[in-house]
A and B are shown apart, each in its own frame.
Chain A
Amino acid sequence: DAKTTQPNSMESNEEEPVHLPCNHSTISGTDYIHWYRQLPSQGPEYVIHGLTSNVNNRMASLAIAEDRKSSTLILHRATLRDAAVYYCILRGPYNQGGKLIFGQGTELSVKP
């Protein structure tokens, strides 16, 4: 399975943009890039996913490098509620059962 590399932790100030990087140099052509986040003592929640093009939704934006070997999750205005562990995950083809392989993620702290 292709692997992702993320910084262990990042800090941000409230109401400022946050760019969370993810490296995935061994990504295959059929791997989707998924982002989930986990608040303390809760289950993870889906944030966004993409294949090749940049994606936007109400929570965040996902910028994918042209060679697909890296991606960046962008939170446009961080709030205190965005403090969480953010996981960048590669999702393989459907015939793998939709499994998600979690790394250790990036712990984001947001300062008021």
Chain B
Amino acid sequence: DGGITQSPKYLFRKEGQNVTLSCEQNLNHDAMYWYRQDPGQGLRLIYYSQIVNDFQKGDIAEGYSVSREKKESFPLTVTSAQKNPTAFYLCASRSGGYNEQFFGPGTRLTVL
């Protein structure tokens, strides 16, 4: 089955540690996105990539980093510089043009 996988579903980390969230897609989509969602709020864009080896900052990129070495993969690193990292993180991909985005199931990150 084609789709987007995110792992792990739940992640706990100690304050001051970096953590990397995985996002893999087998839809052959060119564009990929990372969003953050806080309780009761809409999604906010962190980073996006339209092509391999290229990515752009979204609205809330501070404290995050990404890489796009392969078309299928777009990992997100939450660094210790991110002041409030506890949130629900969602990855998405899109084939191109005005086509819709497909979302993964999300990773819920809790910083202890």
Q: A102 to B97, Cβ gap below 8 A? A: no
Contact A43 B56, CB 8 Å, known A34-B100, A97-B31, A99-B48: no
CB pair B106 A43 closer than 8 Å? yes
The verdict on A91 contacting chain B, using a C-beta distance below 8 Å, is yes
Name B98's closest neighbour in chain A (CB-CB).
Answer: A32
Q: Does B17 contact A (CB under 8 A)?
A: no
**A residues 55-112 in Cβ contact with B at 8 Å:** 87, 91, 94, 97-105
Q: Give the contacting residue for A97; candidates B40, B41, B48, B100; CB below 8 A.
A: B48
The main secondary structure of chain A at its interface with chain B is loop
A43 close to B103 (CB less than 8 A):
yes
Tell me if A100 and B101 are in contact (CB < 8 A).
Answer: yes
Inter-chain contact B103/A100, CB cutoff 8 Å: no
- Residue-wise interface mask of B (51-87) relative to A, using a CB-CB cutoff of 8 A (1 in contact, 0 not): 0000010100000000000000000000000000000
Q: Is the CB of A103 within 8 A of B42?
A: yes
Determine if A16 is an interface residue (Cβ-Cβ < 8 Å). no
The answer to whether B42 touches A98 (Cβ under 8 A) is no
Whether the Cβ atoms of B101 and A46 lie closer than 8 Å is yes
Contact partners of A43 in chain B: CB under 8 A: 90, 92, 103-106
The reply to whether B100 and A46 form a contact with Cβ atoms under 8 Å apart is yes
When A45-B103, A102-B42 are in contact, do A97 and B50 touch as well, CB less than 8 Å? yes
Q: Is A21 an interface residue (CB 8 A)?
A: no
* A binding-site residues for B, Cβ under 8 Å: 32, 34, 36, 41-46, 49, 87, 91, 94, 97-105
What are the 5 tightest A-B residue pairs by CB atom distance, in nearest-first order?
Answer: A43-B103, A102-B42, A46-B100, A102-B43, A43-B90
